[in-house]
Structure 1
Amino acid sequence: MGSVFAAVLEEIAMKAILRSAALGLAAAMLMAGNAGTVHAAALVQISLWDKGAGTEMPMGLAYAAPGLDLAKATMGIKALPGTVKAGEVTFNVKNDSKDTVHEMIVMYLADPGKQLPYIEAENRVDEDKAGDKGEVSELDPGKSGTLTVELKPGKYLLICNVPGHYGAGMWAEFTVDP
């Protein structure tokens, strides 16, 4: 009887060892698989909007302008979400205008609260001096475009730099968290 009991114990022990080894192998495979996982880019939906080409464009609504009243804006940019984690960010941009060309440019704000460098004669931001990180160039009404960029933590401004549009309030603040 003792040898039968020993054989049963040996079989139980062997099954336990095999099960433990199988679980260990499965765990190792999961960890190895996750090590090569590419994290998906943060996805931001952008709407470029306006109240129509026939609407008078107010000026003086640029970011950080003194006495700024965005309630007067006849065009703008809406970003959802307005905050993402640092890393790869994909902007899906749609020009929701019925009759006006717009674009979206990502600007890094080295000094949040300070106005972007502006070229008065051209009625637009000086992109070279302002920290341009990428753009979806001029989109015809109803058209869409995509931009994927690597962004570090900080404050950004999304702008339309078609002459006059930025000064008419076509910008949105955007935050990248660590």
Structure 2
Amino acid sequence: MKSISRRAVLGIAAAISIAGSAGIAQAASTVRVSMWDKGANAEMPMGLAYATPGLNPAKATMGIKASPNAVKAGEVTFKVKNDSKDTIHEMIVMYLADPTKPLPYIGNENRVDEDKAGDKGEVSELDPGKSGTLTVDLKPGKYLLICNVPGHYEAGMWTEFTVDP
């Protein structure tokens, strides 16, 4: 009788151990990203960069939409589509070390300084209608998804993204 009880206890302990380990291994999160604009002929307003005082996002003629806009920390796969009919876009994941401050910007090039800004990975320039994928391991914090084609970020092509613990 003792050997059956001992086997049962060992079996239960093994099952608990396996179940506990399975909880640790978390499935990757998938985020669908749409990059859009109102067409190449639409005026591209400036002054719509993240953390700009008096920001009015309603003036943007281009943007990025992420669904969902928050995930758990770990492996995240971004499935990105350029929904524009005539403009090339890209998507870059930027970590915000201080979410109250703007990203470092190179004014004469009309783009974010990716090296200084905390670039975590990107889907490089996508032609209109094309798609791309990026998988990265992200820690908890605030991020921005941006398009850094010259002028696009300043025209409002960014969205906030949160990684929860």
Task: Compute the TM-score of the two structures, normalised by the length of structure 2.
Answer: 0.90
Q: Distance in 2 between matches of 1:20 and 1:50?
A: 67
Rounded Cα–Cα distance in structure 2 between residues aligned with 1:95 and 1:19: 61
Show the 5 A alignment for 1:23-172.
Answer: 25=11, 28-29=14-15, 31-32=17-18, 35=21, 38-172=25-159
The structure carrying a bigger helix percent of its residues is 1
RMSD of aligned alpha carbons: 2.0
Q: Distance in 1 between matches of 2:66 and 2:153?
A: 16
CA offsets per residue over residues 5-62 of structure 1, 9 Å max, x none?
xxxxxxxxx7xx8699569637624643762674211111100000111111001100
**Runs of 5+ consecutive residues of structure 2 not aligned to the other structure:** none
Q: CA shift at 1:67, angstroms?
A: 1.3
Residue matched to 1:7: none
Larger Cα Rg: Structure 1 or Structure 2? 1
Q: Cα deviation per residue 1:82-106 (whole Å; 9 max; x = unaligned)? A: 1111111111111111111000000
Percent identical residues:
74
- C-alpha distance in 2 between matches for 1:170 and 1:81: 17
Q: Distance in 1 between matches of 2:33 and 2:4?
A: 54
The unaligned stretches of length 5 or more in structure 1 are: 1-13
Length-normalised TM-score, structure 1: 0.83
Structure 1 residue identity aligned to 2:92? I
Q: Give aligned pairs, total.
A: 163
